């Protein structure tokens, strides 16, 4: 893989707010090149978006996350793509993955209440004709998300001056 791209991506994956000038400085690259690579990667669909990691629990916001294991019957000639698309089009669905193992699709869902999520599953998801069955798992606590620990803050425990 292109080393320049790898270096840029590795950095901005953890810190997408860095400005171009600083990014160029820390990576030891020309600003123009960094800017061009990022644009190219956006056009090529390598960089797909920028998100913020939020611990909604700390805001006491009403938010329920569920991970739903879905077994489906794949369709001839189309495999799982059509059914996946039908599911991911719902805005409350945040992720859809095709899985190996004992079920086929992992659907992640965000809703305001347990009831809202279960209504979605029973009325929208389970009623799709290719869906064989579903198993809904509610998230109770998020410890770590996207490589970031949510439950603890970094503390510098070193002595302030060390030779």
Partner 1 sequence: MSYVARQVENMKPSGIRKFFDIVSEMEDAISLGVGEPDFDTPWHIRDEGIYSLEKGRTFYTSNSGLMELRKEICNYLKRRFDVSYEPAKEVLVTVGGSEAIDVGLRAVINPGEGEEVLIPQPSYVSYEPCAVLAGAKPVIIQLCNENQFRLTKQELLDAVTDKTKVLILPFPNNPTGAVLTEQDLRDIAEVCIERDILVMSDEIYAELTYDRDHVSIASIPGMKERTILINGFSKSYAMTGWRLGYACGPEEIISQMMKIHQYAIMCAPTTSQYAAVEALKNGDDDVVKMREAYNQRRRFLLNAFKEMDLPCFEPFGAFYVFPCIKKYGMTSEEFATEFLKQEKVAVVPGTAFGDSGEGFIRISYAYSIENLKIAIAKLKDFVGRLQK
Number of residues that bind partner 1 (CB under 8 A): 15
Structure tokens at 103: 């079920």
Q: How far is the CB of 54 from partner 1 (least distance, A)?
A: 19
Among 11, 56, 88, 103, binds partner 1 (CB under 8 A): 11
Stretch in the footprint of partner 1 (CB under 8 A) among 35-43, 47-55, 66-74, 155-163: 155-163
1 binds partner 1 (CB under 8 A): no
Q: How far is the CB of 58 from partner 1 (least distance, A)?
A: 20
46 binds partner 1 (CB under 8 A): no
The CA distance from 20 to 34, in Å, is 7
The secondary element (H helix, E strand) that includes residue 115 is helix 114-119
156 binds partner 1 (CB under 8 A): yes
Closest by Cα among 144, 147, 89, 138 to 117: 138
Q: Assign residue 147 a region: left if phi > 0, alpha if psi is -120 to 50, beta otherwise? A: left
């Amino acid at each position: 893989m292109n080393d320049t791209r790898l270096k840029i991506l590795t950095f901005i994956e953890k810190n997408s707010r860095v400005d171009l000038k600083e990014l160029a400085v820390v990576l030891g690259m020309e600003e123009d090149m960094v800017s061009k690579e990022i644009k190219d990667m956006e056009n090529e669909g390598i960089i797909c978006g920028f998100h913020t990691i939020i611990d909604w629990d700390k805001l006491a916001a009403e938010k329920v996350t569920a991970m739903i294991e879905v077994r489906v019957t794949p369709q001839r000639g189309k495999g799982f793509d059509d059914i996946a698309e039908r599911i991911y089009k719902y805005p409350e669905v945040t992720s859809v993955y095709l899985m190996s193992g004992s079920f086929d699709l992992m659907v992640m869902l965000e809703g305001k209440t347990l009831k809202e999520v279960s209504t979605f599953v029973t009325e929208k998801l389970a009623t799709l004709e290719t869906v064989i069955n579903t198993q809904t798992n509610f998230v109770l606590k998020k410890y770590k998300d996207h490589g970031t620990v949510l439950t603890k803050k970094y503390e510098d425990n070193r002595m302030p001056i060390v030779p």
